[in-house]
């Protein structure tokens, strides 16, 4: 499916972002960002290139070995890009380059230089400036260039808090892309439910998901997919995906596509044979009840912590009712007894990175605002070694959706992926 018309932000958006950065910089300062570089996979083969999210956020430029320099003085603001020069021979072998000559118009910047000239041009461009916004150790190749340029500043500031807060609140254009990422991700999970059956390998289901992402315009996943059958679901970041799926087990799938650099992130859990057993149903319904309550609470003015506190109470009470935990609910919560079965947080920011940037505050108590996008992903994981009634051993359940904060409440960007038991069973049966 050709979604190229949707898969790009207008260049004006990157320009507007840089203007917001200029407004926060002090006079007589520069801000410097380096791009990602290609990473070796083996011998002379590289991994697929993926741009640094901060660099992309301010440039929309998807080539390695580049740098962005913002210069602010009392009189002017200037945007400069350093990038690889054109090279017909290397481009024949390794792909096209934008080149220095075309960069100013294409990227809407004031000046462009070869990255090979960084050491000579950077001192000239910054000789009268007193402060630098820079993050050391993020890209060692860029730190080496900066050190070799031998420029000293009176003050060096970290640009991460500034840019992270900007990235946290999504623009209308970003929301449009993330809606598409959520929809395509949902298609992948629906496909997984349709093709899963006993004795298929976990990696076979992963390949079906990735194919569904690809054919809807998302070439890459936004993280390594988890396809975890049976007790494997009790390993939170299980990615081996190399075991056969067994009749009578559940399979937990945590997978998301990356569409136009933006991440989707869905988890669904369903029976390999298409029919929940009674113990599986009991754990699943408990997690679903907790997730639905969390979704009700994750609205403007509330926080992830507030919702998670309610989730903990629902799950602790439910585990007591099932005989998995024993004792007074309040005391069990105080002692964090639930942690053996629910050991992660309720959700995280989502955007250019699947675990996106932005300040949370202590215990994720930050008030939710319009334009934030978060995941909501309660789970219960009962390993084969757990001291619980036998029928619950080896059951791992997580249910995850992506929520956009709006002035009218939240909007579930991933609602197309079924999560009601009847809907899942009907889909798998048909």
Just list the catalytic residues: 44, 237, 254, 265, 344, 348, 355, 377, 381, 398, 400
Q: Taking the mean position of all CA atoms in its chain, how far away is CA 294?
A: 20
Adjacent-strand bridge partners of 379: 398
Instruction: Tell me the Cα Rg of the chain.
Output: 24
Residues with Cβ < 8 Å from 205, sequence gap 6 or more? 192, 195, 196, 227, 245, 251, 253
Cα angle value 259/424/275 (rounded, 5°): 135
Calculate the alpha carbon distances from 284 to 38, 61, 288, 324, 378 in Å.
42, 43, 6, 14, 11
Question: What is the DSSP pairing of strand 379-382 with strand 395-398?
Answer: antiparallel
How far is Cα 418 from Cα 430, in angstroms, rounded to an integer? 14
Adjacent-strand bridge partners of 29: 72, 131
Q: What is the DSSP string of 143-207?
A: HHHHHHHT---SEEE--HHHHHHHHHS--HHHHHHHHHHHHHHHHHHHHHHHH--TT-BHHHHHH
How far is Cα 77 from Cα 17, in angstroms, rounded to an integer? 14
Residue given tokens 């136009």 in the structure block:
260
3-state secondary structure of 101: coil
Region of 247 (left: φ > 0; alpha: ψ -120 to 50; beta: rest) is beta
Q: Taking the mean position of all CA atoms in its chain, how far away is CA 393?
A: 31
Q: What is the DSSP string of 266-334?
A: EEEEEETTS---HHHHHHHHHHHHHHHHHHHH-STT--HHHHHHHHHHHHHHHHHHTTSS-S-HHHHHH
């Amino acid at each position: 499916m050709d979604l190229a018309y949707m898969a790009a932000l207008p260049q004006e958006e990157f320009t507007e972002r840089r203007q917001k950065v200029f407004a926060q910089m002090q006079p007589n300062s520069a801000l410097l960002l380096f791009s990602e570089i290609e990473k070796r996979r083996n011998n002379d083969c590289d991994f697929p290139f993926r741009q640094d999210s901060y660099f992309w956020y301010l440039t929309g430029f998807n080539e390695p070995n580049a740098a962005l320099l913002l210069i602010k003085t009392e009189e002017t603001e200037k945007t400069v890009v350093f990038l690889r020069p054109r090279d017909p021979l290397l481009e024949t072998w390794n792909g096209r380059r934008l080149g220095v000559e075309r960069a100013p118009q294409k990227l809407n910047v004031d000046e462009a230089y070869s990255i090979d000239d960084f050491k000579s041009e950077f001192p000239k461009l910054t000789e009268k400036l007193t402060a630098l916004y820079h993050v050391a150790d993020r890209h060692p190749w860029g730190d080496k260039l900066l050190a070799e340029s031998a420029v000293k500043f009176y003050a060096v500031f970290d640009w991460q808090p500034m840019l992270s807060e900007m990235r946290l609140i999504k623009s209308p254009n970003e929301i449009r892309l993330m809606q598409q990422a959520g929809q395509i991700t949902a298609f992948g999970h629906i496909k997984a439910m349709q093709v899963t059956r006993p004795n298929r390998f976990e990696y076979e289901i992963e390949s079906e998901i990735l194919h569904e992402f690809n054919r809807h315009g998302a070439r890459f996943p936004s993280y390594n997919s988890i396809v975890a059958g049976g007790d494997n679901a009790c390993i939170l970041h299980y990615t081996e995906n190399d075991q056969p799926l067994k009749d009578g087990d559940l399979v937990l799938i945590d997978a998301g596509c990356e569409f136009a650099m933006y991440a989707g992130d869905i988890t669904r859990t369903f029976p390999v044979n298409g029919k929940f057993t009674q113990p599986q149903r009991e754990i699943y319904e408990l997690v679903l009840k907790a997730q639905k309550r969390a979704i009700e609470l994750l609205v403007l003015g509330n926080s992830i912590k507030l919702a998670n506190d309610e989730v903990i109470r629902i799950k602790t009470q439910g585990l007591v009712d099932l005989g998995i935990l024993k004792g007074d609910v309040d005391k069990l919560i105080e002692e964090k007894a639930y942690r053996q079965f629910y050991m992660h947080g309720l959700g995280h920011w989502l955007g250019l990175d699947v675990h996106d940037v932005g300040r949370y505050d202590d215990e994720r108590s930050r008030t939710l605002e319009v334009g934030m996008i978060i995941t909501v992903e309660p789970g219960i994981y009962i390993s084969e070694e757990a001291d619980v009634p036998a029928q619950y051993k080896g059951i791992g359940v997580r249910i995850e959706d992506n929520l956009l904060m709006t002035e009218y409440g939240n909007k579930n960007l991933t609602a197309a992926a079924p999560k009601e038991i009847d809907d899942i069973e009907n889909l798998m049966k048909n």
